[in-house]
Structure 1
Amino acid sequence: MASEDSPNWISAILRWPLLWHAARLLLVSAYLLGGLTKLLDFAVAAAEQAHFGLHPGWLWAATAIVVELGGSLLVVLNRFVWLGAGGLGILTFVAMLTANAFWTMGGHEKFMATNAFFEHLGLIAGLVIVSIVSDEPSSDPSRAARSQAVQGVSQ
């Protein structure tokens, strides 16, 4: 579905099959890296969670690893994207409230935390958008074919 506002060459780029896969991978890349980093140094991950007041730290670290890796995998594979992106969004929201509580800070620290808070808010919006787009039958060629077959039978 091309937009009348987009030049033809932009529409052509946006229809490249690999672009959708690459965009999903890039969207969750920080979560993949974070999950792997936590998994490879679990003691540090647990201490980080405790530092932000999330106790017990080991439980929050384990939860973060499962959500970051599992949620990312669901988004990348374009399966149950609502679940994967939803989990990542909730994890991001908790992180925003604990690590980027800019309303409790002052000076440069407040500036940096405010910026990070709203960057994370934008990331949550991206996760919502990927869930919306993934819910469209056209986002998955096999699902689009099944949808067309069902529509043909029902007519």
Structure 2
Amino acid sequence: MSRAAETPRWVRAILGVPLIWAAARMALVSAFLIGGLTKLSDFSAAISEQEHFGLHPGWLWAALAIIIELGGSALVMLGWQVWLGAGGLGVLTAVAMLTANDFWHLTGHDRFMALNAFFEHLGLIAGLVIVSIHAAGSERK
């Protein structure tokens, strides 16, 4: 039995709607869009955030985050150079999870919260890899 046959026809029909794919890509990058726009609207707070997590110079890290969050999100949503947009977002997410979610240094409730956030970010990176794989497969067809 083929893998496609394992998925009910009605589910394949829904997943085949182009609007669903576009909405899923937008949802995947929504946190990056919000983050980039928020940093852009209050650049001094963005600098402070970067420096709070030990990233210096803060202005450089804040500017890079804005460029990657907005530019990478645009590439993923447009379906153009998805590997580049998703890759940039994935690397940014990895840096963020290693600096902001260092559960290995924490105890109690703080450790619990950071551990959850760490693995949520890891799942987000996996989603970015999956969208890149899908885009690469679409290019081959």
Structure 2 residue 19 is the aligned partner of structure 1 residue 23:
no
Greater relative contact order: 1 or 2 (C-alpha under 8 angstroms, separation 6 or more)?
2
The one-letter code of the counterpart of 1:107 is G
SS in 2 for 1:79: coil
Structure 2 residue 36 is the aligned partner of structure 1 residue 38:
no
Distance 2:73 2:15 in 1: 22
List structure 1 runs of 4+ shifted beyond 2 angstroms: none
Structure 2 residue 112 is the aligned partner of structure 1 residue 111:
yes
The one-letter code of the counterpart of 2:134 is V
Contact 1:31 1:68 in 2 (8 A): yes
Distance 1:77 1:8 in 2: 27
SS in 2 for 1:11: helix
Q: CA RMSD in A?
A: 1.4
Determine which structure has more spread, i.e. the larger CA radius of gyration.
Answer: 1
Structure 2 residue 20 is the aligned partner of structure 1 residue 10:
no
Distance 1:24 1:2 in 2: 23
How far residue 2 of structure 1 moved from its aligned partner, in angstroms, is 7.3
Number of residue pairs the alignment of both structures matches: 140
Paired position in structure 2 for 1:95: 96
How far residue 6 of structure 1 moved from its aligned partner, in angstroms, is 1.2
How far residue 3 of structure 1 moved from its aligned partner, in angstroms, is 1.4
Structure 1 gap segments, 5+ residues each:
138-142, 148-155
Distance 1:110 1:90 in 2: 23
Identical-pair percentage: 66
The one-letter code of the counterpart of 1:55 is H
Pairs within 5 Å for 1:142-153: none
Structure 2 gap segments, 5+ residues each:
none
The one-letter code of the counterpart of 1:24 is R
